[in-house]
Amino acid sequence: MILAGDIGGTKAQLALYESGGSARAPKLEERVATRGSVSLDSLIEPFLARAGVRVSRMVLGIAGPVADNRCITTNLPWHVDGHALAERFGAQVRLLNDLESTAWGLETLGPSDLLVLQRGEAQPANRALIAAGTGLGEALLPWDGQHWRPSPSEGGHTDFGPRDALEDELLHWLRAKYGRVSYERVLSGPGLADLYRFFRDTRRGHEPDDVAMRFDHAAEPAAIVTESALDGSCERARLTLERFVEIYGAEAGNLALKALALGGVFVGGGIAPRVLPFLERGGFTRAFFEKGRLSPVLTRIPVAVVLDPKTAVWGAASCALSDP
């Protein structure tokens, strides 16, 4: 049997396959929480015990930089060693960055798994992937003339670049709180909550008392911002989500330029599918292609949101099943 996994900062999706199977047809799959777990072993071992199987191969997409088949996770207190996992479980183990795993999964998607934000003019050329969720992930997919070859990146941790006076203020506010400010400090669940706090501290937009109370007491305050923006109950939440979407589009455009992603840009992660009405209003795509003299290039690049939440595990499975 083969184990594929998508190991995120909040949850993990684990799936079992037989050799020669289809990436989107696992024999068994399960979603488990990662936050609060002491190690990756403590997730895998009970899952395999419940399934009553041993595996010969594992491919695991994990949120963090992977080098020498090892990873210090970005949003979990884990040191994951693929060599140690291989010895413990008696299996071949390959660790992938989680966005690299998602990039592998793009080839498994059909038209119904994508929402097109900008149709553009697709070319057989490089692609790029950006995904905001617990953190901000980015990946490149260079085109070799026949295939897209997923390549990991830690571009979400590059320096945040303000585009106007409001974002200059935001940078100073975040710098006072964190010191260095990366794009992930804005484009993530915690970043969305901080963006709302910034609008509160600078007195932008009306905030109903009940929304303020729910936000202050929520375990996941970003969810309150999203809900209150979508239902129109809070002007401050709407302004926050509008600006979040614009910054998201701007960084997606930055990534498109760095990758020269004429083959398309994909927007993954857990946040985008939850805020589709705001993504479709045009702020994302305007910020995406507002790149001065390079704007005409950006307007021709296809942009689509990945709707299937299991794309990363499909990608890990595709990688595992394609190995000899």
Six-digit token pair at 205?
């937009």
What mean pLDDT, rounded, does the chain reach? Answer: 95
**Among the ranges given (7-11, 31-35, 149-153, 205-209), the one the predictor scored with the smallest mean pLDDT:** 7-11
Burial 263-292 (b: 16+ CB within 10 A, else e): bbbbbbbbbbbebeebbeeebbbebbbebe
52 vs 43, 49, 55, 58, 313, CA distance in Å?
A: 15, 5, 10, 16, 21
CA 287-291-295 angle, to 5 degrees, is 100
**Among the ranges given (34-43, 85-94, 195-204, 263-272), the one the predictor scored with the smallest mean pLDDT:** 34-43
Residue 324: the pLDDT is 52
pLDDT tens, 57-110? 999 999 889 999 999 887 788 899 999 999 999 999 999 999 999 999 999 999
Residue 217: the pLDDT is 98
Nearest partner of 127 among 141, 117, 146, judged by Cα: 141
Q: What is the mean pLDDT of residues 235-250?
A: 98
d(CA 274, CA 244): 13
7 vs 40, 101, 145, 239, 249, CA distance in Å?
A: 8, 10, 31, 32, 25
pLDDT tens, 259-283? 999 999 999 999 999 999 999 999 9
Six-digit token pair at 201?
């501290």
Provide the whole-model pTM. 0.93
Q: Which CATH number fits domain 2-104+310-322: 3.30.420.40, 3.90.180.10, 1.10.3720.10, 1.10.150.120?
A: 3.30.420.40
CA 199 to chain centre: 24
Element (H, E) at 55: none
- pLDDT-derived band at 38, boundaries 50, 70, 90: confident
Residue 236: is its pLDDT beyond 80? yes
Q: What is the mean pLDDT of residues 2-18?
A: 92
CATH topology match: 2-104+310-322 vs 110-307: no
Q: What is the mean pLDDT of residues 167-187?
A: 98
CA 105-110-112 angle, to 5 degrees, is 120
Residue 294: is its pLDDT beyond 80? yes
Q: What is the mean pLDDT of residues 35-49?
A: 90
For the chain, give every domain's residue range: 2-104+310-322, 110-307
Crossing angle of helices 189-201 and 235-259, in 10° steps, is 130
Nearest partner of 259 among 139, 178, 168, 157, judged by Cα: 139
Residue 323: is its pLDDT beyond 80? no
Q: What is the mean pLDDT of residues 31-57?
A: 91
Length of the chain: 324
Name the residue with tokens 């375990």: 219
- pLDDT-derived band at 9, boundaries 50, 70, 90: confident
pLDDT tens, 141-155? 999 999 999 998 999
CATH topology of domain 110-307: Hexokinase; domain 1 (3.40.367)
